[in-house]
Structure 1
């Protein structure tokens, strides 16, 4: 029987999944953190870290919230720099993006729904 309450550390538990610690990819599937409803990431990024390849999600909506630091999200038509604690950016499925950490940054990202192979790199 799975527990009704789970306690842990997002940074430790997401370490082998690029920060993702809740979603469809958690095993066993009866673990309360295993869900197709959403994914949650605790992203700790050093200054200069980034994703330079455009990517998109097929079905998932994404919300990124800045905990600390200065973090840039680039979209085809515009860019957003999150520089104040609590700044957020939300984007819909099909929107291409990439990102970079301008300073050491911590960002919480939530995607919903959580589906295998929903995130795709876009060839340049």
Structure 2
């Protein structure tokens, strides 16, 4: 059996600004609008489709596994943009990265309060 995640819908107050934020931080492109969605396609083919949503948006978590070199580039963009970051998802260790399982990781929020994460080693991968 083959099962792959193809896409997910990400709720946003401003779908264009939110898609642009993710694309800029990760060094990706925003695709043309597709119906009510603004897609950002990851290198593995999975698409995050931003869609406008009114009212309170429940916080979601999106983790991106990246190479060590990509981590450095993304983390530099996060800091240059003045985006706050934390070593943990509960935001109790501000201005830090973690070294879980021998890799590096950090959490930051998008404009809608979604918790984004970059990490260089899957959790439970050991060192």
Q: Give the number of the structure whose residues are more often helix, by fraction.
A: 2
Structure 1 length-normalised TM: 0.30
